[in-house]
Amino acid sequence: MNKVILPNSTIGIIGGGQLGRMMAIPAKQMGYKVAVLEPECGGPLSQVADYEINAPYDCEEALLRLLNLSDVVTYEFENIDGNQISRVETKGYLPQGERPLLVTQQRDREKKAINDCGFQTAPYERVDNIHDLKQAIEKIGYPCILKTISGGYDGKGQWTLKSELDLENVQSVVATTPCILEGFVLFTKEISVIVTRGTNQQIEVFPVAENIHQNHILHLSIVPAQIDAKLRAKAEEIARSLIEKLDFVGTLAIEMFVVGKDLIVNELAPRPHNSGHYTIDACNVSQFEQHIRAICGLPLIKPDLIKPAVMVNLLGQHLDYALEMWKKPEFSTAKLHLYGKVEAKKNRKMGHITFANQCEVELSEQVHQFLNNFPK
């Protein structure tokens, strides 16, 4: 059943980081109230929320308080106990349910789900000890990537193995932590697609982004992705098919590798995503507003790219430089978004800046100029 949640209702968000903050802003603009559950007070989302509950995410009492306070509840990240959500969801309205969490929280489960939907991933094997690792390497070969089953992001919880010499570095990891071993994919580009599915079953896909990473952290998202029209259409079709077959509600980010004329699905995130931040300034609807519309049972908006864009991630070490550059007249059209985090630590995501221009040559030149002395 498609339950419609209208403005002046309260949207509860589990998680108080920047993604929740960027969900809350369009929700507030549309007239909703926002409640947040987060362990510590004063986070990015709480600065714009109406109600704040401070408790661990797995605190059943706190989850029930959020459900009782809210007309609909969503989450801003996937590292929440799906089983806990399953236990409490009947006490309120959580249209996404626990399924997206249970599917995406463990890498082997996620890859199996993708394969079961008919799409290709890198070859992988489950690894629970050093014996498993050696057997997996015999099947997959070098080079390969060892990843923890759960947790880990921005390059954390990952080790590239190029030869037997690298095994010594990960013996303690596989002895104590469940992992998977993935085959190394020789890709030419990495792309991502943001797709949203409403409780009314409507599906809409955002323009494909091309992503460039530095030190395993997203550095740039370029839209439209510099790939041919057939690959772009294929990526969009994979996104539509995956979210429907997985029966997910809300926003789903799908990372893919371009390998020749083919696409390999890398990872899923059942929420708005860093690589979709460009949608705030370059599209007629943002991934965050679309997510709110989806969980509230409202009609989705067909996304349209208004201008080609490049989104630049701003980490702690970039902040002073970015502010100094942003105040210059030549960058006056760039859109700055800071997340309200108090301490600017190295490699901590503090914000992003989006450049948009109808002329892709001028856009490229402006971004190049901005990044000319960008800190590492």
Map tokens 């409780």 to a residue: 199
CA-based torsion, 80, 86, 89, 94: positive or negative: positive
Backbone angles phi, psi at 178, to 5 degrees: -60, 135
Task: Look at residues 157, 183, 209 and tell me which one is the last residue of a structural domain.
Answer: 183
The CA distances from residue 14 to 11, 29, 75, 284, 338, in Å, are 10, 20, 5, 27, 21
Distance (Å, whole) CA 143 – CA 52 = 47
Beta strands in the chain (DSSP E): 10-14, 33-38, 51-54, 72-75, 124-127, 144-148, 158-161, 179-183, 189-197, 203-205, 209-214, 217-223, 250-259, 262-269, 309-315, 335-338, 349-356
Cβ neighbours of 276 (radius 10 Å): 31
Which residues are registered as beta bridge partners of 195? 205, 252
Residues 146 and 42 in one domain: no
Handedness of CA 112, 113, 116, 119 (dihedral sign): negative
The position carrying tokens 């960058």 is: 331
| Token pair of 216 as six digits | 């395993």
- Give the integer Cα–Cα distance in Å for 22 and 282: 15
Residue 340's CATH number: 3.30.470.20
pLDDT for 155 equals 63
Q: Which residues contact 237 (CB under 8 A, 6 or more apart)?
A: none
User: Does residue 90 share a domain with residue 50?
Assistant: yes
Q: Is 194 in the same domain as 178?
A: no
Secondary structure letter of residue 340 according to DSSP: -
Rounded Cα gap, residues 100 and 85, in angstroms: 11
- Residue 161 to residue 354: CA distance in whole angstroms: 36
Closest CA to 286 of 295, 297, 273, 296: 273
Q: Are residues 194 and 325 in the same domain?
A: yes
Tokens 């599209």 sit on residue: 283
Say whether both 233 and 354 belong to one domain: yes
How many structural domains is the chain composed of? 3
Task: Determine, yes or no, domain membership for 1.
Answer: no
The answer to whether residues 284 and 364 belong to one domain is yes
Position 78 scores a pLDDT of 86
Q: Which of 165, 183, 201 delimits the end of a domain? A: 183
pLDDT attached to residue 293: 98
Are residues 33 and 19 both part of a single domain? yes
Q: Is residue 174 part of a domain?
A: yes
| Residue 106 within a domain | no
Strand partners, 283: 305
How does pLDDT run along the chain (376 residues), one tens digit per residue? 689 999 999 999 999 999 999 999 999 999 999 999 999 999 999 999 999 999 999 899 999 999 999 999 999 988 888 888 888 888 999 999 999 999 999 999 999 999 999 999 999 999 999 999 999 999 999 999 999 998 766 667 889 999 999 998 899 999 999 999 999 999 999 999 999 999 999 999 999 999 999 988 999 999 999 999 999 999 999 999 999 999 999 999 999 999 999 999 999 999 999 999 999 999 999 999 999 999 999 999 999 999 999 999 999 999 999 999 999 999 999 999 999 999 999 999 999 999 999 999 999 999 999 999 999 8
Q: d(Cα 16, Cα 88) in Å, to the nearest integer?
A: 20
Q: Which domain, by its residues, includes 364?
A: 189-370
Say yes or no: 338 and 224 in one domain: yes
145 and 163 housed in the same domain: yes
Return the number of other C-beta atoms located less than 10 Å from residue 351's C-beta.
21
Considering the domain architecture, whether residues 360 and 213 belong to the same structural domain is answered as yes
Identify whether 79 is part of a domain.
Answer: yes
- What is the Cα–Cα distance from 204 to 245, expressed in whole angstroms? 15
Q: Is there a domain that residue 70 lies in?
A: yes
Supply 5's token pair.
Answer: 């949640």
Q: Does 193 lie in the same domain as 179?
A: no
pLDDT at residue number 291: 98
The answer on 216 and 80 residing in a single domain is no
Q: Which two tokens stand for residue 321?
A: 């430089």
Rounded CA separation 359/339 (Å): 29
Whether 260 is in a domain gets the answer yes
Q: Residue 29 contacts by C-beta under 8 Å, 6 or more apart in sequence?
A: none
**Residues paired with residue 211 on neighbouring β-strands, in sequence order:** 190, 221
Per-residue confidence (pLDDT) for residue 151, from 0 to 100:
76
CATH number at residue 160: 3.30.1490.20
Q: Provide the CATH number for the domain around residue 58.
A: 3.40.50.20
Judge whether 103 lies within some domain. no
Render pLDDT for 146-174 as a digit per residue (tens, 0 to 9). 999 987 666 678 899 999 999 988 999 99
Picking from 137, 161, 183, the residue at the C-terminal end of a domain is 183
Q: Does some domain include residue 281?
A: yes
Cis peptide before 308 (omega within 30 of 0): no
